[in-house]
Chain A
C-alpha cells in the first residue's frame, strides 16, 4: 500500500495534469481552490487543484496522475451534498463533472437512458418529459444536484417511497476505478456475470472511483394523480396515520409531513393557504390508473378520519398540485425568514416510532434552547429535523451539534439508522459506531480497499478512525462544522 505523501508537491501535480488536459481545464488559483473547498454542509477542506473533466478520458487522466503520484482525488458534482462528502481532502485533485452534462441516449420504450454524471437531476426529467417518462429519484435539491452525486450518495426524494431510492434506478455505471482502469459495472442487461458491483458502487460516496457514464432506469408517467393535504391537531395523529396507510396495503407515491413551524414559514413565503394554525400537515400523493387512485384516496380519507384529521384539501388541478408541492419544496428557502442559519439532519426510524421520536426531538432541541422545524419523508420514516440558529451568537454551534448528536442517537436507539439519504461523509463518520461494531466496519473497509488499495479516492470519509490504515491523515485540516 502506498503511504500518502502528506507534503504534496502541487506544482508537480499541476504539471503532470497539464500534460494530459488543456491548461484551462486544470485550475490551481487560490480563488478557484477556495470556491471548491466545501459543499452544502458547513465543513471546509482544502482543494489542491480543480480539474474540469469533459470526458471519461479526462477523468482517467486525472485519476492516473493521482494514482501515480500518490495524491488523493475527489469527484465533485454540484456540491449540494449535506454530509461533507465533497469537502476536499487536503491538497486533493478535485475532479469536477459539471462539464460532463450530456444526455447520451434515451430509449423510452425499454425505459433506459445513458447520461453523463454532470447532468442535473431535474434537467433529465424535463428533457424527457414529452416522452412520457421520468427519472424517479427527486431530491429536494433536484434543480441543482447532479446524477453523479445522486449515484454516489444513493439519494432519495419524496417520490422514492413507492419507487425506491437511486440504487433501484441505476442499471449500470461506467467508472474510472482508483487505479485508473475503466469498467462498466452492471449495464443494460438485468443479470450481468458476477457480483453486483454496480450495487456497491451506488452509495459509495466517491470512495470507489468516479462515475463517468450512468445508465438509468426511467419510469412511466402515471395516467392519474391525486394530491391531498391533510392537517392535524397533533403531530402524533399525522404520524400514526402514516403507519395506518401502509399497514392497510396502500403504498402512496409520496407521504410528506410538515410541522407547524414549517407551515408558518412556508405560508409566509408562498401564500398557498396552508393550515398554519395546525400542529402538522401531511402531503399525500397517490398515482396510477384512475379507479385504483380513487379507491386509494377513499380508503386513505377513511383512515384519516379515524385519526381525527382536520381539513382534507384535494388538489383540484395541476396548478393547485404544483402549489402544494411548491410549499413542500420551498421549506429550505422559507427558513431564512425565521433564522439566518439552519442545520439539517437526516435519520430514519421505523414508521411506528415517528410520533415518539418526533416528541424526543422537540424535547432535545428545546433543552438546548434552540428551535426546530420538521419537514420530512414521513412515508419511509425519514426524518429531517432542521435546527434553526443564528450563527453570530457565541457558543451556538456547540449547542447545535450537541442537539444534533442526541437526535441521531435517539433515532438509532428507536431502531433506526444514521442516514436515510444524505450519506455519512465527514458529518456522521464518527457516529458510525452507534450502528456498527468494529467487525462490521472492518468489512466495509475491506470492500473499500478492494476498490481502492491505495486509499486515494475521496479518503477519510464514511469510515471512522481509519484504524485499518493509521498512516492516512484524519479529518481535513481546519475542518469545522
Chain B
C-alpha cells in the first residue's frame, strides 16, 4: 500500500470535520472540509483461500486485473475504488447468482471518529466472532468510519459465460434455468447471462430457445430503484420502455430518479443512535446522511 494504516489514521486525525473520497465517481466535494484518501495497493492475494487484501483506495479495476491472473474475480463494482464501492454498497448485475456485494467483505481496518484504527470482522471466509461491523460499514457512505484496508472474498471466474435474449416471460426463465447469473427484463425482452460449463450453457440455451448476444442491455441511468422482486411485474404497465429490472433481485435501472419514501421512524431513530455512538461530533463526512442519501 502507498500509505500505512497508521499514517492514514494520523491524516484523519481526531478533531475537526474531514471527508473521504475514492475516485470521486459518487461523491460531491464538500466545501471547507479537508479531504483524505485511503491507502492504495494490493497487499496479498491467496488463491487457495479465495481472499485478497488491499488498501481501500485501490481501484477496483486494479484488483480485477490482478485476480484475473489467478482465474478469480471479486463481486465489487468496477469503476471506482474498493472503499468507495463498499461505502456505497451497491451490488452488481450478477447479484442473482453471486449474492450481495456485502458478503464479499470479510475484514476491514477502519479509522474511527477518534482517529483510532479499528478492526471489523476477521480474515477467514467463515467467522462469527463478535458483532458484524463489516455489514455496518458496507453502505454507510463513510459516515461511521473511514476504511483503510480490507480482506475480500474472491470467487472463481466461470470457464464460460454468454448473454442471451428471449421473448419469454422472465419468471419462466428464472424458474426453469438452473441458477442463471443474471435475468434482466425491460417489459418486453428478457436478457439472460449464463455461466458455467459450456455444454450445460448450450443445453439450457437450446431447451429455452435463447438467442446468444454479445452483451446485456444498455442500462437507463436516471435512477436505481429497489423493489420487492414480486412487484417488478407492475413496471410493465407503470413504466413501459423506461426500465431494465433485475428479475429475482429487485434492482431497477430506471430513466427516472428513485422515488423518495418516508423513513421508518424506528429506523431513523436507530440510525441516529448509531451515528451518535460512532461519531459523536459528526466530523466524518459531514452533511451525508446514510439514511436519506439515495
- Cβ proximity bits B172-193 to A, threshold 8 Å, 1 near / 0 not: 0011001100000000000000
In this assembly, does A397 line the interface, its C-beta being within 8 Å of a C-beta of chain B? no
In this assembly, does B142 line the interface, its C-beta being within 8 Å of a C-beta of chain A? no
Contact indicator B226/A191 (Cβ below 8 Å) = yes
Give the top 4 A-B pairs by smallest Cβ distance, nearest first: A199-B135, A289-B200, A292-B197, A188-B228
Q: What CA separation (Å) do A422 and B291 show in the bound complex?
A: 32
Contact of B136 among A154, A183, A196 (CB under 8 A): A196
Contact indicator A447/B90 (Cβ below 8 Å) = no
Q: Jot down 27 A-B pairs with beta carbons below 8 A, ordered by A.
A: A112-B230, A160-B126, A164-B99, A190-B226, A190-B250, A194-B290, A195-B139, A195-B140, A202-B135, A220-B179, A243-B48, A244-B48, A288-B200, A291-B203, A292-B196, A348-B124, A349-B124, A352-B49, A377-B126, A380-B124, A381-B125, A417-B127, A419-B128, A420-B127, A444-B130, A449-B277, A462-B131
Contact indicator A223/B266 (Cβ below 8 Å) = no
Contact of A193 among B130, B263, B274 (CB under 8 A): B263
Q: A194 to chain B: which residues have CB within 8 Å?
A: 139, 263, 267, 271, 290-291
Q: Tell me how far the C-beta of B163 lies from the nearest C-beta in chain A, rounded to whole angstroms.
A: 18
Contact of A462 among B116, B118, B130, B155 (CB under 8 A): B130
Listed in ascending order, the chain A residues whose CB lies under 8 Å from chain B are: 107-112, 153-154, 156, 160, 164-165, 167-168, 177, 181-185, 187-197, 199-200, 202-204, 207, 220, 222-223, 243-244, 246-247, 249-251, 288-292, 295, 348-352, 377, 380-382, 415-424, 428, 432, 435-437, 439-441, 443-444, 446-451, 453, 462-463
Contact indicator B127/A190 (Cβ below 8 Å) = no
Contact indicator B123/A417 (Cβ below 8 Å) = yes
Contact of A199 among B128, B132, B157, B227 (CB under 8 A): B132
Contact indicator A420/B267 (Cβ below 8 Å) = no
- Cβ proximity bits B109-129 to A, threshold 8 Å, 1 near / 0 not: 000100011111011111111
Q: A422 to chain B: which residues have CB within 8 Å?
A: 128
Q: What CA separation (Å) do A181 and B264 show in the bound complex?
A: 11
Contact indicator A251/B136 (Cβ below 8 Å) = no
Q: B155 to chain A: which residues have CB within 8 Å?
A: 251
Q: B241 to chain A: which residues have CB within 8 Å?
A: none
On whether A183 and B267 interact (CB within 8 A), knowing A154-B128, A381-B125, A447-B133, the answer reads yes
Contact indicator B178/A250 (Cβ below 8 Å) = no
Q: B157 to chain A: which residues have CB within 8 Å?
A: 249
Q: Tell me how far the C-beta of B261 lies from the nearest C-beta in chain A, rounded to whole angstroms.
A: 7
Contact indicator A351/B128 (Cβ below 8 Å) = no
Q: What CA separation (Å) do A419 and B121 show in the bound complex?
A: 11
Contact of B228 among A187, A200, A249, A421 (CB under 8 A): A187
On whether A380 and B178 interact (CB within 8 A), knowing A112-B230, A288-B200, A291-B203, the answer reads no
Q: B46 to chain A: which residues have CB within 8 Å?
A: 350, 352
Contact indicator B200/A292 (Cβ below 8 Å) = yes
Taking A419-B127, A449-B277 as given, write out 9 further A-B residue pairs in contact, using a Cβ cutoff of 8 Å, ordered by the A residue number: A188-B230, A247-B47, A288-B178, A289-B196, A289-B200, A349-B124, A416-B123, A419-B129, A420-B126
Contact indicator B132/A167 (Cβ below 8 Å) = yes
Contact indicator B130/A424 (Cβ below 8 Å) = yes
Q: B125 to chain A: which residues have CB within 8 Å?
A: 348, 380-381
Within 8 A of A (CB), among B37-68: 46-50
Contact indicator B138/A196 (Cβ below 8 Å) = yes
Q: Tell me how far the C-beta of B136 lies from the nearest C-beta in chain A, rounded to whole angstroms.
A: 5
Contact of B128 among A107, A203, A220, A443 (CB under 8 A): A203
Within 8 A of A (CB), among B67-104: 71-72, 89-91, 95, 99-100, 102-103
Contact indicator B270/A110 (Cβ below 8 Å) = no
Q: Tell me how far the C-beta of A131 lies from the nearest C-beta in chain B, rounded to whole angstroms.
A: 10
Q: Which residue of A lies closest to B200 (CB)?
A: A289
Contact indicator B277/A415 (Cβ below 8 Å) = no
Q: A184 to chain B: which residues have CB within 8 Å?
A: 264
Contact indicator A250/B136 (Cβ below 8 Å) = no
Contact indicator B136/A423 (Cβ below 8 Å) = no
In this assembly, does B204 line the interface, its C-beta being within 8 Å of a C-beta of chain A? yes
Q: B152 to chain A: which residues have CB within 8 Å?
A: none
Contact of A291 among B116, B200, B270 (CB under 8 A): B200
Q: Tell me how far the C-beta of A286 lies from the nearest C-beta in chain B, rounded to whole angstroms.
A: 12
Q: Which residue of B lies closest to A243 (CB)?
A: B48
Contact of B132 among A183, A191, A203, A348 (CB under 8 A): A203
Q: B246 to chain A: which residues have CB within 8 Å?
A: 190
Contact indicator B129/A435 (Cβ below 8 Å) = yes
Q: B294 to chain A: which residues have CB within 8 Å?
A: 191, 193
Contact indicator A112/B229 (Cβ below 8 Å) = yes
Q: Tell me how far the C-beta of B172 lies from the nearest C-beta in chain A, rounded to whole angstroms.
A: 9
Contact indicator B129/A418 (Cβ below 8 Å) = yes
Q: Tell me how far the C-beta of A377 lies from the nearest C-beta in chain B, rounded to whole angstroms.
A: 8
Contact indicator A164/B103 (Cβ below 8 Å) = yes
On whether A424 and B278 interact (CB within 8 A), knowing A167-B135, A182-B266, the answer reads no
Q: What CA separation (Å) do A172 and B138 show in the bound complex?
A: 16
Q: Tell me how far the C-beta of B121 lies from the nearest C-beta in chain A, rounded to whole angstroms.
A: 9
Contact indicator B229/A291 (Cβ below 8 Å) = no
